[in-house]
Chains A and B, each alone.
Chain A
């Protein structure tokens, strides 16, 4: 082949490869789905009845929606035991809503239903297939419908971005002209898709799949993964984003290398019975079995796709324990032994650390530091503090300094502990000792707020500067009088025996993975007195009521270090990996051996100096020779 043809071939490859990749990315979510007659709860066409749509009936015509709804932790929120243990530090959602009475469940759906897929215990609602199977589900309109109590209209509200529905007051109506004679909309008008990362991002965290979009993201309770870890799943380069990240000009890396390489959330968190993707995790697969050949037929899968998605063993997981660990780990896709020749003691490093410990060297976004639910803002939400940002994280002008995740030992079933990157946080709240539960959010709001102002009883007890509102230290419950004032208001609002409690919560940092050339390669990052372990990690700027959290509770992540209350009143954590049996050479926070050894050496030198000095002094000032030879001479 001559030079001209070589050049043309190279040009063709260089042009076609990105195009084909882009084409793949664009087509990943497209779905050739047949037209679907929309049915109501009675099975009648909605175009005939005008009634709200039933996803269970409509999708259930071809898919086993009962099976799907009963095989989805997004519906069930886990087992009873898991639900009882739930406590979301950002939203205050927790406990087992299935145990609520009708009125309580109604209130729960209004408050938190926007973050629940529907169905299951939330009987007034159905599992909403559109949330994940539409490219642009109208989650805000859906949440609005749920908040207003119009639960039956929630699926219709989710279609607000299509021409199929129109809002009428608090209800929704069908646009009959968009449906054919069978009561089915044009497939293109409905726009069903395979679930894309953006769908997951609607509830879980920030997902920006357009690599050219210069986005700005503020931490939000509606995106807890981002709020609690700072993770942003995007193929875009950090330096091209709209985020005011410190030193961003040098940050040419993508926010997440897996997003850059065209992976979707479902690439790792897919259906557990998807025959195309199924590859049992090494954690549960028999050691001798490289691959499980027995799989569902594709038609069987389409009828009964399990919606218990593959997931890891993250510390913050509150549901889905049955499927924890089913997700393929880094090692299931990557063979680290072929790419880490540069790493001394590679086996030792692999044994002691999770891949993310080095491959998420830092998080270039703000993340939760503490959540204080002992007092509320005038918006009725917690007082949150964030790390990784200088100033208000909601202000685009605030400098995002980012943070280095703390490395804590994480133990997965059947495995030894490994250091894993975590965002360690603290949460403070009122607990009703008499009832054995957290003080309900409604009680808390009733006690502290009067509309969008603080209640007069609270102002009387806490407004030290008589400004008519509360700010700064007035919200910190730093004195016994302040604590008593709030406690009294809580009792009036219905709490029986409120006390302040504090917990530590650790959030695993597993997204925002950097490309290999951005991973930690400098030994001194972990080996040395100034290693990342040595930095004190702030867990709270102050301790409401002086109450300090002590441990992480029952989770697969453990503390390996000490908690200290600073003179300023803040709480910090100092790592000591040796408490977990890990001793990174060069980093020893307690150098008792060195202190003893140094004293021994110093005493030896002193002894030598005194002994030798005396010999020299005597030889110079007396007739005593400095050596036996002179004495003998």
Chain B
């Protein structure tokens, strides 16, 4: 018998999809700004404007998400370090490298209170605490090169900021590829995607 268990609140889902939309738009417009001779979608000028607008939207959404996760107490889901964390991480890695091919069940059962496995926690820790801040800070400084030239010069100028921003963008792209693929490793290939749309996970229960 199937049972629908609520995993994601409306707020979390809106936050997630806005974040997804802004990141994808930022990647596309970023590529056009980065290589305007090869990519022609919006045109260089409009791509720059769109990139700046969606960067602001992403930053706003990130801050709202931070506020939500802090005040709702759900932030602790992202914090690694519970007992047996390393062992769980190894088991999860072993599952992705072998168990999944043999149809074995997930080594760790996700619950609404503990949705993330150790590998996800490590990944999100890096994404949210390193990659996103780096991208936001370098992006703001590139945008602000017009306004604060002295500050930009102190951090090495655009010669440093632009490559760092570009490298972080490539890492984001790789993360998104991996992220989308791993959504197919749920109970069914589309189960995780459906859950992020409806908010509910369907679980088999014994009658």
Interface residues of A (CB under 8 A from B): 344-348, 351, 523-524, 527-531, 578, 581-583, 585-586, 588, 592-594, 596-598, 600-601, 604-605, 607-608, 611-612, 614-615, 618, 624-633
Interface string of B113-135 (1 = CB under 8 A from A): 00000000000000000000000
- Determine the chain A residues whose CB is within 8 A of the CB of B102 once the complex forms: 624
Tell me the minimal C-beta distance from A631 to chain B in angstroms: 4
Closest to B95 in A: A628
Of the listed stretches B17-25, B55-63, B65-73, B158-166, chain A binds B158-166
- B189 near A628 with CB under 8 A, answer no
Total contacts A-B at CB 8 Å: 122
- Determine the chain B residues whose CB is within 8 A of the CB of A618 once the complex forms: 101
Listed A/B pairs (26) with beta-carbon separation below 8 Å:
A345-B145, A523-B36, A523-B45, A527-B33, A529-B37, A529-B38, A578-B159, A581-B159, A583-B159, A586-B34, A586-B36, A586-B44, A593-B170, A594-B34, A596-B167, A596-B170, A598-B170, A600-B174, A605-B177, A608-B178, A611-B181, A618-B101, A627-B188, A629-B191, A629-B204, A632-B204
- B101 near A627 with CB under 8 A, answer no
Main secondary structure of the interface of A (DSSP, over half): helix
- A631 near B103 with CB under 8 A, answer yes
- Determine the chain A residues whose CB is within 8 A of the CB of B178 once the complex forms: 604, 607-608
B100, B147, B157, B191: the one within 8 Å of A581 (CB): B157
Q: Please give me the 4 A-B residue pairs with the lowest Cβ-Cβ distance, nearest first.
A: A597-B170, A631-B103, A529-B37, A528-B37
- Determine the chain A residues whose CB is within 8 A of the CB of B169 once the complex forms: 597
- B100 near A612 with CB under 8 A, answer no
Tell me the minimal C-beta distance from A275 to chain B in angstroms: 38
- Determine the chain B residues whose CB is within 8 A of the CB of A629 once the complex forms: 187-188, 191, 204
- Determine the chain B residues whose CB is within 8 A of the CB of A528 once the complex forms: 35-37, 44
Provide the bound-state CA to CA distance between A582 and B152, in Å: 12
Tell me the minimal C-beta distance from A606 to chain B in angstroms: 10
Interface residues of B (CB under 8 A from A): 33-38, 44-45, 48, 96, 100-106, 145-147, 149, 157-159, 162-163, 166-167, 169-171, 173-174, 177-178, 181, 184-189, 191, 204
**Most B CB within 10 A of own CB, among A346, A578, A597:** A597
- Determine the chain A residues whose CB is within 8 A of the CB of B158 once the complex forms: 581-583
Provide the bound-state CA to CA distance between A597 and B106, in Å: 32
- B167 near A593 with CB under 8 A, answer yes
Provide the bound-state CA to CA distance between A588 and B169, in Å: 16
- B167 near A631 with CB under 8 A, answer no
**Most B CB within 10 A of own CB, among A344, A627, A632:** A627
- Determine the chain B residues whose CB is within 8 A of the CB of A627 once the complex forms: 103, 185-189, 191
Provide the bound-state CA to CA distance between A624 and B184, in Å: 16
- B37 near A597 with CB under 8 A, answer no
Provide the bound-state CA to CA distance between A523 and B157, in Å: 21
Provide the bound-state CA to CA distance between A586 and B30, in Å: 10
Provide the bound-state CA to CA distance between A632 and B202, in Å: 14
Closest to A602 in B: B174
Closest to B157 in A: A581
